[in-house]
């Protein structure tokens, strides 16, 4: 049983160009904590209901990033960039009325949270990096090699075949679910949790929305991990924001990459959860909630 969170308030607001809107959900009470989802082709739905455990201690603000989930407005050519992602996050902060907020990023969302914190450190009161994606091209290549080494040749063949499947290419949810069961099966070993998670990934997506979200993902990769010299680590050395890093010892992102972040950010605290993969909030919800609450609001 999960604790009952305060009734969430759902809003949508236009970014000003007449086409793009953002879906925002906020709940809870206390200091503001903005939850930045991963993917980057998912939306915030996969984080619920577990992340709402924090609603007793924080005003939680979730939003679906531009063109994804309930922020999808149709098969438009969304001009999504890292810069527009940061601008959107700042618009949500400004629209919510907060001068500074806590940022909690999961997976790719942690990379986006770091990008934002580097540009707007005065607007971030604390930074939570949970199961963080790599912060540099070099570390992303390490992750790619790690993923390959942890899969059997049969799994690699199956994933390749699924990516080429016409149903997958057209955004078929069932075909894509087969792909994600293989992709995340090595890090989330509880089959019930794996099925639950995969079912959440596309709960707010149409087939068209899935195709657009993947195009957005490719575009963001081109601007980050695929770009020679992409590296946030030097800038993180100058970050003066209280930072908590939460990582699983069985995360698909090697623990060594989380240690790179902890070594780079002055005073950062690293918590390693045992027998935990890439979805700490789902696998170890009580430990995650307790760690975040005690870090941000110590007694």
pLDDT tens, residue by residue, 84-99: 999 999 999 998 899 9
Please count the structural domains in the chain.
1
State yes or no: pLDDT of 21 exceeds 90: no
15-19, 129-133, 168-172, 278-282: segment of lowest average pLDDT: 15-19
Domain CATH for 210 = 3.40.50.1820
pLDDT digits (tens, 9 = 90+) for 201-232: 998 999 999 999 999 999 999 999 999 999 99
For residues 128 and 7, the model is more confident at 128
pLDDT at 150 over 70: yes
Banded pLDDT at 12 (limits 50, 70, 90):
low
The answer as to whether 163 is a domain residue is no
Asked whether residue 180 is domain-assigned, the answer is no
166 found inside a domain: no
Residue 136 lies in a domain: yes
Residue 241: its pLDDT value, please? Answer: 97
Query: Does some domain include residue 169?
Result: no
> Residue 247 sits in which domain range?
9-150+186-296
84 phi/psi in degrees, rounded to 5: -70, -30
232-268 pLDDT per residue, tens: 999 999 999 999 999 999 999 999 999 999 999 999 9
pLDDT of residue 2: 43
Segment 266-291 shows an average pLDDT of 97
Does a structural domain hold residue 161?
A: no
Predicted local confidence at residue 278, as pLDDT: 97
289 domain-assigned: yes
């Amino acid at each position: 049983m999960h604790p009952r969170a305060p009734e969430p308030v759902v809003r949508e607001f236009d970014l000003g160009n007449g086409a793009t809107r953002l879906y925002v959900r906020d709940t809870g009470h206390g200091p503001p904590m903005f939850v930045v989802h991963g993917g980057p082709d998912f939306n915030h739905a996969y984080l619920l209901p577990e992340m709402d455990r924090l609603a007793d201690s924080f005003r939680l603000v979730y939003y679906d990033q531009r063109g994804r989930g309930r922020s999808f407005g149709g098969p438009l050519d969304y001009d999504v960039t890292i810069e527009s992602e940061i601008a959107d996050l700042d618009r949500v902060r400004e629209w919510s009325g907060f001068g500074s907020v806590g940022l909690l990023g999961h997976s790719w969302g942690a990379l986006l949270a770091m990008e934002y914190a580097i540009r707007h450190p005065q607007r971030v009161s604390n930074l939570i990096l949970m199961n963080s994606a790599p912060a540099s091209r070099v570390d992303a290549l390490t992750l790619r090699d790690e993923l390959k080494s942890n899969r059997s040749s049969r799994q690699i063949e199956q994933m390749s075949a699924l990516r080429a499947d016409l149903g997958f290419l057209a955004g078929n949810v069932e075909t894509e679910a087969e792909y994600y069961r293989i992709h995340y099966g090595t890090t989330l070993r509880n089959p019930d949790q794996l099925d639950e998670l995969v079912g959440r990934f596309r709960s707010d997506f149409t087939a068209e929305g899935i195709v657009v979200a993947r195009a957005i993902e490719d575009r963001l990769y081109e601007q980050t991990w695929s770009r020679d010299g992409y590296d946030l680590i030097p800038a993180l050395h100058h970050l003066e924001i209280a930072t908590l890093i939460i990582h699983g010892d069985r995360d698909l992102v090697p623990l060594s990459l989380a240690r790179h972040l902890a070594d780079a950010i002055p005073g950062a605290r690293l918590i390693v959860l045992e027998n935990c993969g890439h979805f700490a909030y789902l696998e170890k919800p009580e430990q995650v909630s307790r760690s975040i609450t005690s870090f941000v609001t110590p007694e």
